[in-house]
Structures are given as structure tokens and as C-alpha cells.
Chains A and B, each alone.
Chain A
């Protein structure tokens, strides 16, 4: 695997698809991560989203289950 794989496009879901997904699944079936700043989270976030600002993500991976589908916003 090349080191520059991070340049590859990441999969994206439109908001509508996320809405549908959250409606159909149980919260224990997925990770929903809000990677914005705490202030933005405070001003409004998706139901059940876990706040991990992108700057802290690498140190807090253990808080998430890598085997579950993960949605970041």
C-alpha cells in the first residue's frame, strides 16, 4: 500500500443518505463523529453524535469501534 493513499478520494454520503441511515439503524450499530470545534457542536449537532475535533482524532481513536460503519461530519 502506498503512503499517499490519503490523497485518494474518501467516500462521501449526502446529508439525505445519512438521515436515512440514522433512521434505520440503532446507535450501537455505527460511529457518528462530529469533528468540528466544541463551540460548533454546542450550537447544534446531529442526534447522538460524538464530539472529537479533527485535531484530537488521532489520539482518541480508541473511543470508536473500527468495525462499525463510521460517519464523520
Chain B
């Protein structure tokens, strides 16, 4: 999962030939891995206009927010549940930043159809970072332990951090750049929090 996010980052950074090893270390040791199914992925057509990628970012933040808040409900581990609750609230705040910059870029004060007005999407489906359907991810998460869920979340945040860096480069205007720069930093911070909780869990498991 994480190697997939890593491979996408490396390819985007100009690495010529990049492969993600299927199933990771488990597969290497001969175990059958049960990663999140590829079938859950969707591929959006490339966004070109700033409105389009703001809308898309908003959509993904919304999906991630929903995913995190459900995960917070499912988890029995209190510390982790709290973290996911916080992340969910922060993704909600990101939506606010994005809508603000959308207003500036589009010149519209209100847009009831947003983000459908700028991004083509399937009705009734929520997507989160990485292009994953929220319903599929939740279905998968119910059968997973905390560490598996953390791994997926780390991959998502890595993807989204990378996406915001790209958007920052691409969007024109100081304000837009600033918004995406801030979002990239915030997702990086999510990534760090998730990674350190994951690392701590691994340490505790060793004791």
C-alpha cells in the first residue's frame, strides 16, 4: 500500500522506471498478502483548470473526512480513535480553505452545485485520497487490525501531500499557491502523526 504511494511520488518526481513490489515484505516471505483491492480504485480524468483541481481536492478531503470519522467509531483503541477523530475534523477544515480559494478563483460567491459543478463524479459515491471509494475502504477496514488501517491512512496522506505539492506548483497566483502549500504542510503533519503512532505500536508489540 505504502509502496504504491511511494512509487507514484517517485514517478511524479521524474524517476524513469519505478516498480512497487506487490504484497511487500509478506509476499517476499512467501505469505499471501491481502492488500486493499485494486478494484476499489477509480481514476479521474486529468484536471486542468484550477477550479477543477480545487474541486477535486475538496472532494477527496470530504471522502477522507468521512473515512476517518467512521474509523474513529470502529476502533477500540482509544488513542488511535482520538487521532482519527482529530484528523477528521482537520480534513473538514481543509474543505473550508479549499472552498474559499474556489470562490476567489471562480469569482462566485456561492455555488450550490460545488464540487459537482467542476468535477465529473459518480452520484452517491464518496472518494478519498488515492482515488479510493470510501465505501470499499470501510468495508476493507472492518476486517483489519489497527496497524493495517494505519498503513492505509499513511499511504493516503502521502498521496495527498504529494498531490498538494503538485497543485501548488501548478496553480497560478500567490493566494492559490499559499493555500496548497499550507495544505501540503498539514497533510505532512498528518502523515507524521500516523507514522509515529504506527511506529509506537510496532515497538509495543515487541515488548
Contacts and interface: CB of A to CB of B under 8 A. Distances in A.
Interface of A: 1-15, 18-19, 31, 33, 35-40, 43-46, 53-55, 57-58, 61, 64, 66-73
Contacts of B25: 36, 40, 44-46, 73
A66 B162 contact: no
- Interface hub of A4, A31, A40, A67 (most chain B Cβ within 10 A): A4
Interface residues on B, range: 35 or more
Contacts of A5: 11-12, 46
B84 interface: no
Interface in B62-121: none
A5 B166 CA distance: 10
B138 interface: no
Given A12-B4, A46-B28, A55-B158, 13 more contacts: A4-B44, A4-B56, A6-B12, A6-B159, A12-B19, A15-B21, A35-B3, A37-B199, A39-B202, A44-B25, A54-B9, A57-B10, A73-B24
Given A2-B47, A37-B195, A66-B16, A14 B10 contact: no
B188 A54 contact: no
Contacts of B14: 66
Contact of B6 (A2, A9, A72): A72
A8 B154 contact: no
A37 B198 contact: yes
A45 B5 CA distance: 19
Nearest to B15: A66
A67 B190 CA distance: 31
B13 interface: yes
B202 A3 contact: no
17 contacts: A2-B46, A3-B163, A3-B166, A4-B163, A6-B12, A8-B43, A9-B41, A9-B43, A10-B20, A11-B7, A11-B20, A12-B19, A35-B2, A57-B9, A58-B161, A61-B10, A66-B15
Contacts of B191: 54-55
A38 B170 CA distance: 33
Contact of A55 (B16, B41, B166, B192): B192
B155 A14 contact: no
B10 A72 contact: yes
A11 B16 CA distance: 12
